[in-house]
Amino acid sequence: MSTGEATSFGNISASKLAEIYGTPLLVIDGAVLTAAINEFVSASASTEVEVTYAGKALLLVGIAQLLKESRLRLEVCSLGELTTAQRAGFPPSRIDLHGSGKTDAELRAAADGAVSRTIVDGIAELRALASYASPSSPVAILMRINSGIEARTHAFVRTAGDQTKFGITPRDFSTAARIIQDNAALNFRGLHSHIGSQISDAKAFIRNAARLVDAAARLKRLGLFTSDLVVGGGFAVRSRPSERAPLDVKRTIASIAQEVRKRSKARGIVLPTVGIEPGRALIAPAGTLLYRVMARKRQGRRTFVIVDGGMADNPRPALYGAHPDAKLAGRRSNVRLEMVTICGRSCENDFITDVRLARDVTVGDILAMPMTGAYTYSMASNYNRFPRPAVVYAHGGNHQLMARRETIDDVLRGDVGFLSV
């Protein structure tokens, strides 16, 4: 898509923000973020489903400060994310700790009460956590199970089934139950299963919920009582008009809750509190990456537009074939459109996306990639020793820095050379 419209956030233009903060720049539109939070909160209110924001999609102190004021819980999966939440003053009573390979420091933080629930990903981790926790203040755990539901999504973001590393399989339930029952330092609260990302078929969530209830029924027979049941995140977002419509959030949440209610009754278990854990659906729509065009070339039959970012700040296209939309953002153009390939400036042939842009797009122009708030900045690296971009929050006609652009000194901070040479 290309347009004759200049992009703006509220009444602040993209070109103004690019001029003030430089590019690449991730702009978070506060109005869009608030609308997404409100959509999930109101969609879950009548069913009393708990909504947890998956911080891996984008977690900054400022984001955690904003979320603190909402009713959302927060999921962290590392000491870095936990510390971010702590700096924001996010209440531990609303934090869950994830991770498919938790460090001793992370397990210790969980045992010390830095979070309200720890989602345990394996048998060895269960034992390790028990060794850090004390029976006088037992650590609340959810057992992440591998429900075997294979979401129809890219293999890199599929997180259930026997081709994935995640969770505890039903084969190990009795071992897990024994460890939990033998350890007064572990307080079993329930089950969790996240099957993947970019899920646009509500049936996958419902099947996952059903498997969780079945697992809860089995664990009840083994003496464990499930009070919380989290069906994970993965609500798809639509990056281009041509992509499948995203899930109807309200209807999907209602269907999940209904399935849990119906099946719990059928399996004879007490109705648990249901939770969901979306990341991208909350933050992707609020984020827009702004790039400046560095070069434009015709090679064979293809036109390349090279921008001042790429796989270091926007790795999803290279990692799992994401295909963001892009448009000319800094000015109006009414000239004809042509198909171009937007590339980054890394040392790979790093295609970001193919889009139709105005033929007069040239060096210095600002391009905007909407729907890029999730898994861009949070996945950014210093590849090619590029500094990470800045993140700015635009709301109600104001703009405010959330993360300053890194300097070359930041990039080299940990590089000590051979101190003794």
Ligand X SMILES: Cc1ncc(COP(=O)(O)O)c(C=O)c1O
Instruction: Report, as residue numbers or ranges, the catalytic residues.
Output: 347
> How far apart are the C-alpha atoms of 252 and 226, rounded to whole Å?
22
**Shortest Cβ 138–ligand X spacing (Å):** 23
Cβ distance to ligand X smaller for residue 272 or 275: 275
Contact flags string 225-264 toward ligand X, x per CB under 6 A: -------xxxx-----------------------------
Please report, as a single letter, which amino acid is at residue 293.
Answer: V
Which of 44, 51, 56, 353 lies at the binding interface for ligand X (CB under 6 A)? 56
Q: Does 21 bind ligand X (CB under 6 A)?
A: no
Q: Does 67 bind ligand X (CB under 6 A)?
A: no
**Shortest Cβ 239–ligand X spacing (Å):** 13
Q: Does 98 bind ligand X (CB under 6 A)?
A: yes
> How far apart are the C-alpha atoms of 23 and 35, rounded to whole Å?
26
> How far apart are the C-alpha atoms of 54 and 67, rounded to whole Å?
11
> How far apart are the C-alpha atoms of 231 and 48, rounded to whole Å?
14
Nearest residue to ligand X, by Cβ distance, number only? 279
- Cβ–Cβ < 8 Å for 325, 287: no
Q: Give bridge partners of residue 289 from the DSSP assignment.
A: 26, 369
> How far apart are the C-alpha atoms of 36 and 42, rounded to whole Å?
10
- Cβ–Cβ < 8 Å for 374, 55: no
Q: Does 194 bind ligand X (CB under 6 A)?
A: yes
Piece of 38-46, 51-59, 132-140, 256-264 that binds ligand X (CB under 6 A): 51-59
Q: Does 6 bind ligand X (CB under 6 A)?
A: no
User: How far, CA to CA in Å, does 118 sit from each of 34, 90, 102, 123?
Assistant: 27, 16, 10, 14
> How far apart are the C-alpha atoms of 193 and 349, rounded to whole Å?
37
Q: Does 277 bind ligand X (CB under 6 A)?
A: yes
Contact flags string 372-391 toward ligand X, x per CB under 6 A: --x-----------------
Q: Does 292 bind ligand X (CB under 6 A)?
A: no
Piece of 35-43, 53-61, 308-316, 338-346 that binds ligand X (CB under 6 A): 53-61
Q: Does 97 bind ligand X (CB under 6 A)?
A: no
Q: Residue 335: how many CB atoms within 10 A of its CB? A: 12
Cβ distance to ligand X smaller for residue 259 or 277: 277
DSSP 49-84: -EEEEEGGG---HHHHHHHHTSS-EEEE-SHHHHHH
**Shortest Cβ 310–ligand X spacing (Å):** 22
Piece of 49-57, 252-260, 351-359, 362-370 that binds ligand X (CB under 6 A): 49-57
Q: Does 54 bind ligand X (CB under 6 A)?
A: yes
Query: How many residues at the interface with ligand X, by CB under 6 A?
Result: 18
> How far apart are the C-alpha atoms of 84 and 77, rounded to whole Å?
11
- Footprint on this chain of ligand X (rule: CB under 6 A): 54, 56-57, 75, 98, 159, 194, 197, 232-235, 277-281, 374
